[in-house]
Amino acid sequence: MKNEMLHKLFALNHSKTMDGDTLLSIFFQNDKKELPTNSQTPTEIQDLIKNGVFTGSAKSSSFIRASYIDKNNILVAGLGVKSDSTPEIARQTGAMVYNKVAAEKVSELCVDVDALVKAAGKELAAVTLGAFFEGFYLASYTFDKYKSVQKPAGKLKSITLVSSDKKNDGWIKNLIEKTLVTADCTFLTRDLSNEPSNIGTPTYYANTIAKIAKQYGVKCTIMGEAECKKENMHLFLSVGAGSTQESKVVILEYTPKTGAKSAKTVSLVGKGVTFDSGGISIKPSMRMEDMKHDMTGAATMVGSTFMAARLGSKNKIVTLLGFCENMPGNNATQPGNIINTRAGKTVEIINTDAEGRLVLADVLHLAQDYKPDVILDTATLTGACTVALGKLASALFSNDSKLADQILDSSEQTEEHLWELPLWDEYFDDLKSNYADMMNSANDGAGGTIRGAIFMKQFIKEGQKWAHVDLANRAYDQGYLPYNPRKGSSGVYVRTFAEFAMNYR
C-alpha cells in the first residue's frame, strides 16, 4: 500500500452483505482461554479451532486460502482473554494482520462486525475495532520515494465493515473517519521527519505546512529571519547562524467553528532543527545521519494540530514551530558567545550542540503572546533521555501537577507512555553562568534531560501553565512495536497530543 493512495485505498465501507475475497473475524477468548463459537460461526473457522490451528491468543492470526472458486479466503485474528483485553493488544494485532493481508495479496477485506459485537458488546467492539484498524493502517506506511525501484503498491482495494444492525451505523462511521484522520496525520508527521535535510530545509517545511493548512482552513503565518530579528528572537536565530538556509518560525492557528464558552486555547510548540550537526561543538560522525530527524518535535505538533482540527476540536489551537539548521560555518555561534533573548535574559553558549533549548526558549516566549491557557512543547532535546528511560516512554515535565496528570491521562488513553521527571528549581543552579544570566549546558553530563527542561522553564512567565515532552528516545527506530516502521520516524505522540489539545479543560 502506498501512503499517497491513502484515501482511495482506505475505503472502509459500511455495508450489509459479506462480499469480498477475504473474510476477517476477530475473536476474544473466554476466561478459560477458550474460543466461544456458535451456529453462525463459519464451519471453516470452527474446524480451525477444533484442530487447534487457531487458539485466539493475543496478537495471533491465521489465513486460509480458498481452495476453490466462489469461496472466500478466511482470516482470523485473536485478541486473547476478553477480560484482559486492551486497545494496545488490538492495535498490535491489527498491525500483524496488515502484514498478513499484504503478504497474502488480499484485495477485498470484509470484516464481520456483528460477531464481534455479539461476543464483546457494542462498546468494547467499537474500541477494539478502532484500535485494530489504527494498528492496521499505521503498519502500512512506507517511505521509499527516493528508491529508484519502489516497493509495488499492495493489492488491497477495499475494507468493508459488515454489520446487519442499523444501530451500529453511527459508531462505525465515526470509527472509519477517526482511523483515516489518525493514519493520515501520523503519516504526515512520519513523512516530514523522514525527509532528508538536503530537501527538508526550514523553507521546505514552512511551505509544505502552509499548503496543508490552507487545505484544512487553518491559518498559517511564516516568519523569516528579518521578522524574527524584529521580535528580538536572537537566541533562536543564533542556532541557524552558521547555515545557508534561512530560519523560519511557522505559526498555525486553528479556530473552532462554534465558539463554546468552555473552549480553551491550547498552544503546541515544536523544535524543528532540520539537521543537527552540533554546530561548532560538532557531533561525532557515528549515526549523525539520524540528526535529519531533529525536527520531529515540530513534525509531531503539525500532525497533532491537523488531527485535532480535522476531528473538530472545540478548543482553539495555536501551534508554533521553530525551524532552523544547526551547522558550523563562518557565521556560526561559538562556545563562549553571549546571546540576548526575546525575554531579555542573556545566555552564554557553552555547547552549540545544546541548541534545541535555544530554539524553544524564544519560540515559547513568543507563544505566550497568544495568551494560551496552556502550552505543551515537544522536542528531540537530549540524548540523555534514552539513557534515562530507554525506548518505552518519553520524559514529561510540567510546572503544574494537574496539567501533568491531564497529559498522562491522554497518554494512557492512546497507550503512548510518558514518564514524569522532576523540575525542581534547584536544578537550575547547575546552569548559572559567570558572565550571563545562564549557560545553555553545564557540560558535565549529569541529569541532561532535566537540565534541558529547567533551562526552558526560565522563559515561562509566572502563572503560565506549561509542559514539555522530550521525545528524543522515541522519535525514530521504534520497530519493536509492530505498527511502527523498523527504521525511521515513528510518529509517536501525534495521537496523544491531538487527544490532549482537543480535550483539555
Q: Which residues bind ligand BES (CB under 6 A)?
A: 276, 294, 351, 353-356, 380-384, 441, 448, 472
Do residues 426 and 492 touch, judged by C-beta distance below 8 A?
Answer: no
| CB-based closest residue to ligand BES | 383
Helix (H) or strand (E) run with residue 62 in it: strand 60-64
Q: Which is nearer to ligand BES, 384 or 498 (CB)?
A: 384
157 is catalytic: no
Q: Which does 56 bind (CB under 5 to 8 A by kind): ligand BES, Zn ion, none?
A: none
Do residues 327 and 226 touch, judged by C-beta distance below 8 A?
Answer: no
Separation of alpha carbons 271 and 378, rounded Å: 7
Told to check if 276 binds Zn ion by CB under 5 A, we report yes
Near Zn ion in 326-385, by CB under 5 A:
353, 355-356
Classify strands 22-29 and 73-81 as parallel, antiparallel or unpaired.
parallel
Cell of 384: 540523555
Q: Which is nearer to ligand BES, 355 or 377 (CB)?
A: 355
Residue of 108, 294, 470, 477 interacting with Zn ion (CB under 5 A): 294
Catalytic residue among 283, 314, 345, 465: 283
Shortest spacing between CB 250 and Zn ion, in angstroms: 18
Separation of alpha carbons 386 and 395, rounded Å: 9
Shortest spacing between CB 92 and ligand BES, in angstroms: 25
Convert 129-153 to b/e letters by CB count within 10 Å (16 or more is b).
bbbbbbbbbbbbbbbeeeeeeeeee
**DSSP code at position 168:** G
Q: Which does 441 bind (CB under 5 to 8 A by kind): Zn ion, ligand BES, none?
A: ligand BES
Catalytic residue among 292, 357, 474, 495: 357
At position 58, the amino acid (one-letter code) is: A
For residue 173, which phi and psi values (nearest 5 degrees)? Answer: -65, -45
Do residues 213 and 221 touch, judged by C-beta distance below 8 A?
Answer: no
Separation of alpha carbons 83 and 89, rounded Å: 12
Q: Which is nearer to ligand BES, 56 or 322 (CB)?
A: 322
Contacts with 167 (C-beta within 8 Å, 6 or more apart), sequence order:
none
Q: Which is nearer to ligand BES, 142 or 386 (CB)?
A: 386
Separation of alpha carbons 157 and 134, rounded Å: 17
Shortest spacing between CB 303 and ligand BES, in angstroms: 18
Q: Bridge partners of 253?
A: 219, 318
Shortest spacing between CB 498 and Zn ion, in angstroms: 24
CA-nearest of 150, 210, 131, 178 to 3 is 150
Q: Which does 445 bind (CB under 5 to 8 A by kind): ligand BES, Zn ion, none?
A: none
Told to check if 184 binds Zn ion by CB under 5 A, we report no
248 is catalytic: no
Shortest spacing between CB 185 and ligand BES, in angstroms: 22
Q: Which does 301 bind (CB under 5 to 8 A by kind): ligand BES, Zn ion, none?
A: none
Shortest spacing between CB 381 and Zn ion, in angstroms: 7
Pick the piece of the chain touching Zn ion (CB under 5 A) from 87-95, 212-220, 288-296, 412-420: 288-296
Residues near Zn ion (CB under 5 A): 273, 276, 294, 353, 355-356
Catalytic center residues: 283, 357
